[in-house]
Amino acid sequence: MEVVLGNRGRCAQPCRLPYEVLEEKNINNKTSETIIDKGYLISPRDLCSLEYLPELINAGVKCFKIEGRLKSPEYVAIVTKIYRKYIDMFLNKKEYIIDEKDKLQLKQIFNRGEFSTGHLSNSPNRNLIFKEKPNNMGLYLGNVAGYNKLKGHIKILLNQPLSIGDTINFEKENTKYTISELMLDNLNIPNAEIGSKVIIGRMKGNIHIGDKVYKLSSKQQLLQANSSYLNENIKLPLECKISIKKDKPITMNIHLKDLHYHLYKNIDVHIASSLIPEIAKNNPISKDRIIAQVSKTNNTSFEFTKIDIDLDDGLFIPSIKELNEIRRMALSKLENIIISKNKRVIDLDETKLDKFYEKYSNSYLNKYSIEKDLNNNLKQVSIYLNTINTNYNYLKLSKKYISCVYIPLRYFMRKEYFKSLKDITSNFKTYIYMPAIIKANYKNVIKHSLEDLIKEYNIQGFIVSSLGDFVLLEKYWKKYDFIGNFTLNSFNTTSINVFKSLGLSKITLSPELNLEDITTIYNIEKEHIPLELIIYGNIPIMKMNYCVLGISNKCYPQCMMRCRTNNKYYLIDRLGFKFRILPDNVQTVTTIFNSKITSITHIDTGINSVRVDLLDETIDEINNIAKSCMNGSKLEGKQYTYGNLNREV
C-alpha cells in the first residue's frame, strides 16, 4: 500500500487500521523475522482532559476544541454540555470536583477502550493506545453467564443499567445488537438496574459463555441529548423599564439578570428615543399593548422576563412600530457590550514577529546573494542518511556523483558513530539535519553540545526543519550555510519568498507538490534562490510522539530498549505492506516511512539540485542511486512510486 500524505486533505485514517510489528534481526549474516506485537497499534484512545482544565485555563488557553466532525449530534451535545459545566465551574471559582457520573456519560456516548490523558501528563503514558479495537468500546456490561443457542437467550449479571432500545455487542462479534427483549424472573421488563440477573433475548451469533458484553449506547441518553439540541432555545433573561411620559422622549432601560457568569454581570443599557407620545383623541395606548410589542424578541438571544411600564394616562404613540426600533437598538447595544467583554486578551507583542523578520532578513541578504551566484548553475546531488551503519566504509561514497551529505543531529550525540562521522565530514560538505520536533529537554542538550560538535567535525551548515531553528541556531547564522528542509512546507512562492528573505541558501520543496506546481515555482524562483527536490527515498508519512516498541510516549526504566539495538522494525498492514519504523530514543518520537520508495526525475522540473533520502541502502547502492539521479534517470519496479508528482493537490 502507498500512503498519500494527510496534509493534502486525503487522510484515510491509517491510524485506525490493524498492524503487526515485525522485528528483523541479522545474526551471522542470517536474517530472522519475528512478530512482536499486533493489533490497532497506532490507534489512540480518546482524550479526556477534564482533570487538566484548571491548569490549561491558568496556562492561558482561551479556546477548547471538541473533536466532533465525524461524530453524531448526540455526541456533540453531551460532550459540549459537560465541558461547559466544568469550564464555568472553574471560571466562577467554585470547588472543582469532577462528578464520576459525568465521566460515565462521556464514556457511554463514545470511548475507545476508556480514556487517555494524551500528552498532558509529565509521566509516561503507557495507555495512550488501545490496540484491541479502533472504534467505540462502550461500557462493560458483564460476561455471558449462560447461552441458549436455540432460543437466543443470554444470561448476564448487569454491571450497568440496561433498557429496551439500548445497543450491545460481544467481544468476538463486530455486530451491534439492539435490545428488544429483556427478562427478569421470567417476566418481560422495559429496563433493569445494576446488579440484576437478567435474560436478554433474540441474540444469535459468535457468542460463548464467558464472553465480555459491552453496552454501546443508551437509548435514554440519546433521547435526552437529542431533545437538548432539537428543543434548545436558550435565551438570556432581561428586565426592562419603559418610560412613556407626556411631552418627553420614550426611554428604555434594560438590565441583564445575574447569571453567575462573568460575561453577563453588571450590564445595563439605556436608550433614549426621539419618539414623543401624543395626546390620545380616542383610544389611548395601554400597558398590555406596549408589553406585547416590546416582547417580540423573535430570533434574538434574549427574552424579557419582566417589563415595567411607567405610562402617563391618555397618551397615544403615532407609530407603534417605532417601539420595535427602540427595542432593536437596546438589544444591539446589549449584544455589543457582551461581545466586547469576551474579547480575547493575548499577552503578545505583535512587533516581536516584525522585529524577528527584520533582524534576519537584513542580516543575511548578502550571504544569500553569494550562495545564489555560486550554486545557481550547478547540478548537485545531496544525500540524507536517515540511518548510519557503523559497518559501512563511508570513504567509498562517490565524490563524482555526491555533492554533500545530510546527517541527523542524534548521531552526533553518540560516541559509537565517531569514526563514521569523521570519514563523512572529512570527505564531503556535511550538514547537520535538525529534527522536525525538538522538545524542551532536548533543546537544552543541543545548546550545551552543539558548540563542541561543530569543533569536532567539519560542518558546513544546518538543515533547518522548523521556525524554532532560526532562534535556536541564531549564533551560527553568520558562519554557516542554512538549507530549508521540506518540513518548512515550502508549498508556494509566498512561503519561499519569506524563507529566502530570512537568509536560507537553499530551500527543499514539499514532497506533496505535483509536477505542474514544481515547474511553476521553479520558473518564478529560478533567478532568485536555489531550489532542491527530493527525487528518491521512503518519504516519512507520520511522526508521532509515541514509541510502538516501548508502548509509551516517554521512556521509562522497565522498557526493553529495543530502539538501541541494530535490529530493524516494521509496521505490517493488513495487505502485507511493510512500513519502516525509525525510533528516536532521545525524544521518543517515532517516524514511519512509506512502504514504497519515491523515485522520480528532476529533468522535467528544471530544478538542478536534488536530494536522495536513504534508509538501508548499501554503499554501492547509494553510489548507483546518486549516479542515476545525476543522469536524470529514475528507478522502476513494484517497490517504487512517483509519489505525488502526478496527483493534483
Domain of 616: which CATH number?
3.20.20.380
Please check the confidence at residue 1 and state whether its pLDDT lies above 50: no
Residues 241, 295, single domain; the answer is yes
| Alpha helices in 5-99, H assignment, sequence order | 53-58, 73-91
pLDDT value, residue 360: 56
**Whole-angstrom Cα distance, residue 612 to residue 400?**
15
**Mean pLDDT over all residues of the chain?**
89
Please check the confidence at residue 548 and state whether its pLDDT lies above 60: yes
Residues 205, 249, single domain; the answer is no
Residues 311, 360, single domain; the answer is no
> Is 204 inside any structural domain?
yes
pLDDT value, residue 400: 94
Q: How confident is the model at residue 440 (pLDDT cuts 50, 70, 90)?
A: confident
Residues 281, 360, single domain; the answer is no
Lowest-confidence segment of 157-161, 310-314, 474-478, 615-619 by average pLDDT: 474-478
Question: Any residues with CB less than 8 A from the CB of 208 and at least 6 apart, and which?
Answer: 144, 147, 172
pLDDT value, residue 261: 60
pLDDT value, residue 374: 38
Residues 306, 371, single domain; the answer is no
Residues 184, 244, single domain; the answer is no
Residues 478, 615, single domain; the answer is yes
- Under 8 Å between Cβ of 194 and 160: yes
Residues 322, 390, single domain; the answer is no
> Is 392 inside any structural domain?
yes
- Under 8 Å between Cβ of 217 and 175: no
> Is 474 inside any structural domain?
yes
Average pLDDT for 5-19: 76
Residues 412, 453, single domain; the answer is yes
Q: What H or E segment, with its residue span, contains residue 294? A: helix 287-294
Residues 444, 375, single domain; the answer is yes
Beta bridge partners of 39: 19
Residues 178, 62, single domain; the answer is no
Q: What is the reported pTM?
A: 0.81
pLDDT value, residue 357: 57
> Is 255 inside any structural domain?
yes
pLDDT tens column, 360-381: 555 444 444 434 433 444 478 9
Sign of CA dihedral 464, 386, 581, 589: negative
> Is 38 inside any structural domain?
no
Q: Which three cell numbers stand for residue 302?
A: 434574549
Into how many domains does the chain fold?
4
> Is 9 inside any structural domain?
no
Please check the confidence at residue 359 and state whether its pLDDT lies above 70: no
Rounded to 5°, angle at Cα 342 from 79 and 64: 30
pLDDT value, residue 263: 66
pLDDT tens column, 564-615: 898 999 999 999 999 999 998 888 999 999 999 999 999 888 898 999 999 9
pLDDT value, residue 645: 87
User: Where do the DSSP E strands lie in 454-505?
Assistant: 461-464, 481-484
Indicate the residue type of 594: N
Of 116, 147, 167, the residue that ends a domain is 116
Domain of 163: which CATH number?
2.40.30.10
> Is 643 inside any structural domain?
no
Residues 384, 502, single domain; the answer is yes
- Under 8 Å between Cβ of 112 and 43: yes
**Whole-angstrom Cα distance, residue 46 to residue 15?**
13
- Under 8 Å between Cβ of 201 and 182: yes
pLDDT value, residue 535: 96
Lowest-confidence segment of 324-328, 339-343, 502-506, 528-532 by average pLDDT: 339-343
Domain that holds residue 92: 46-116
- Under 8 Å between Cβ of 382 and 532: yes
pLDDT tens column, 293-350: 999 988 888 999 999 999 999 999 888 888 899 999 999 999 998 888 776 555 555 5
